Structure 1
Amino acid sequence: MTAAFTAAANGAEVLLVEESDMVGGTTAWSGGHVWIPCNPHQKAIGVVDPPEQGLRYIMSLSRGLIDENLIRSYIANGSEAVSYLDEQAGTVFYAVRDFADYHPGHPGGLPGGGRTIECSPFSFLELGP
């Protein structure tokens, strides 16, 4: 959905097709959370999250099976993506206080929360008929 929105916002003609008989696919069942280290909403809840801390956390969980450069890119660009959606798509993300990383005891883990963001609830009527 984010890729489709971004493409449309940049002038592309976009068609979203849903395979399921219900809109949303697996997203319809998710909790709606997004895990983004160093996100722009952490400051509002007093969280300081240096990029190296998020990197250390992910790498400690990966057991060496993930490309560190991909994680560095995710951390470096995740915050920008959140800001873009907030500004261009009208999302209203906020950092979830006290929603700890799944393994806060791992190196770089954040036990007090802040890396998980979610959107404020909205009326489905806003989506149209």
Structure 2
Amino acid sequence: MAERSGAKLAESIHKVEGVLILTALATQLNNLATKVSEVENQCTSLRKYIPPHERRTSRGNRHNRVEDTLQIILQKVNEQDRVINDKHENVKALNQMVGSHSRSIQLIRSLLSFAVPPLDSNDLLGLPGNARVNPNMQD
């Protein structure tokens, strides 16, 4: 009988140990569930929680947005460069026209100098021809 009671005692001890282990595991699981719940509540209240796998894609999206922004800037710079080049060509054409007109005006002046005798400023003002020579001279 002592052997039976020793076997039952060992079996009871084994069952108690199993129950204690299960209780410890249940307590740890409960603590873990509580901590996960707290983290979820914090994230929900802040509305900033993003799971890790989505965080990587958001970084990728951020990278894509930067690339898109840089692409838009590059397009605008290229467009402005084209406009500046067009204006540069227009300025060149205007400079050529000014030079051509200046040469035409000089040619017209030289032709007029041969066709029309030079006018004295006194003739233009209606003064006598010798009035300019000596204004103090009396006749």
TM-score of the pair, normalised by structure 2: 0.18
Higher helix proportion (structure 1 or 2): 2
Greater CA radius of gyration, 1 or 2? Answer: 2
Greater RCO structure (CA 8 Å; 6+ sep): 1
Higher strand proportion (structure 1 or 2): 1
TM-score of the pair, normalised by structure 1: 0.19
